[in-house]
């Protein structure tokens, strides 16, 4: 019977080089010696942990430490975030990249408030805007100490380095059963902290093992990209949040044609970043 992934290339990854038992023992030991006392590890509040998970996606820990605290000063609870003005949410996110994440945080917070409590169920979490399998598993592990497949980049790095030290193109579907089988039913937090900290250490000390993953994609250049232009338009809109901006102003600011400026505004409006009123655009 098919698995629903018939379009994937055939997985030819070999079996792990060591037993899971010895693997778990080693990771526990390495985790104890490499533990990082990060601010979001001093809480079990699912909102605060969710925020850290989103901020840490493709972002260095050093950049998140400080911004996470500042965000929580501005929006201390999920209720406060849900009630906030969208422009304020986007403004607080500036400098973190990927503005879609801020919109998703805001929309998901509103849905959570409507639910009445922060969900624990993996399907309920994944149904929220911007929450995928890894983020859902991270919330469950670190807020509720519940087991799951938390396969993010540092975790992937450890499994590739220890269990597939020479293989290239290892698929996530090869790793998922191993991540699931090694995850304990108790102290899930501690287990994944150990994986995260060992993975971060490996990235600093050996050629990045995650590059041998089939899912590895080199991030495209930001400078001059469409993504950079979108981010610039959002900043222009935020700077003129009360009076709005016209297409000509955006075009001049970006040094692009009016047609391109208009296309960017229409694209952002379709995603909920802004709206048009008369001849001006507003965030």
Residue 25 to residues 45, 169, 199: CA-CA distances in angstroms?
Answer: 29, 26, 15
Q: Which residues are catalytic?
A: 53
Instruction: Pull the structure tokens for residue 47.
Output: 């909102």
Read off the pLDDT of residues 126-168 as tens digits, 9 standing for 90 and up. Answer: 999 999 999 999 999 999 999 999 999 999 999 999 999 988 9
For the chain, the C-alpha Rg in angstroms (whole number) is 21
Neighbours of 142 (CB within 10 A): 25
DSSP structure string for 108-162: HHHHHHHHTS---SHHHHHTSTT--HHHHHHHHHHHH--------HHHHHHHHHH
Nearest Cα to 240, choosing from 280, 269, 278? 280
CA–CA distance, 14 with 209 (Å, rounded to integer): 16
Confidence at residue 5, expressed as pLDDT on a 0 to 100 scale? 39
Least confident of 13-17, 95-99, 148-152, 166-170: 13-17
CA–CA distance, 266 with 270 (Å, rounded to integer): 6
Q: Which tops the pLDDT comparison, 32 or 166?
A: 32
Given a cut of 80, whether residue 11 has pLDDT beyond it is no
Read off the pLDDT of residues 45-89 as tens digits, 9 standing for 90 and up. Answer: 999 999 999 999 989 999 999 999 999 999 999 999 999 999 999
Nearest Cα to 63, choosing from 52, 79, 73, 72? 52
Instruction: Kindly indicate the confidence band of residue 41, based on its pLDDT and cuts at 50, 70 and 90.
Output: very high
Confidence at residue 219, expressed as pLDDT on a 0 to 100 scale? 65
Calculate mean pLDDT across residues 238-261. 96
C-beta of residue 141 within 8 angstroms of C-beta of residue 147: yes
Q: What is the DSSP letter of 275?
A: E
* Domains parsed from the chain with CATH numbers: 15-219 (1.10.340.30), 226-282 (1.10.10.10)
Given a cut of 80, whether residue 8 has pLDDT beyond it is no
Read off the pLDDT of residues 214-249 as tens digits, 9 standing for 90 and up. Answer: 887 666 677 778 999 999 999 999 999 999 999 999
Instruction: Kindly indicate the confidence band of residue 268, based on its pLDDT and cuts at 50, 70 and 90.
Output: very high
Sign of CA dihedral 71, 75, 81, 84: negative
pTM of the model: 0.89
């Amino acid at each position: 019977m098919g698995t629903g992934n018939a379009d994937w290339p055939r997985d030819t990854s070999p079996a792990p080089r060591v037993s899971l038992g010895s693997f778990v023992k080693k990771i526990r030991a390495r985790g104890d010696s490499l533990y990082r006392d990060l601010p979001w590890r001093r809480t079990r509040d699912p909102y605060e942990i969710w925020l850290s998970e989103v901020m840490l996606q493709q972002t260095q820990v050093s950049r998140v430490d400080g911004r996470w605290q500042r965000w929580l000063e501005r929006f201390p609870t999920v209720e406060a975030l849900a009630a906030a003005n969208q422009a304020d949410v986007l403004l607080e996110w500036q400098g973190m990249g990927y503005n879609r994440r801020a919109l998703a945080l805001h929309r998901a917070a509103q849905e959570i408030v409507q639910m009445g409590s922060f969900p624990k169920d993996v399907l309920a979490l994944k149904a929220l805007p911007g929450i995928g399998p890894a983020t859902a598993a991270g919330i469950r592990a670190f807020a509720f100490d519940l087991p799951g497949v938390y396969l993010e980049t540092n975790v992937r790095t450890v499994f590739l380095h220890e269990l597939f030290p020479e293989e290239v193109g290892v698929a996530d579907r090869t790793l998922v059963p191993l991540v699931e089988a090694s995850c304990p039913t108790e102290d899930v937090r501690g287990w994944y902290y150990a994986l995260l900290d060992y993975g971060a250490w490996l990235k600093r000390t050996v050629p990045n093992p995650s590059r041998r993953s089939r899912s590895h994609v080199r991030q495209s250049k930001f400078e001059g990209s469409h993504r950079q232009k979108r981010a610039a338009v959002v900043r222009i809109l935020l700077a003129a949040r009360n009076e709005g901006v016209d297409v000509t102003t955006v075009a001049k600011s970006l040094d692009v044609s009016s047609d391109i400026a208009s296309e960017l505004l229409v694209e952002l409006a379709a995603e909920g970043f802004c709206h048009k009123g008369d001849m001006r655009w507003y965030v």
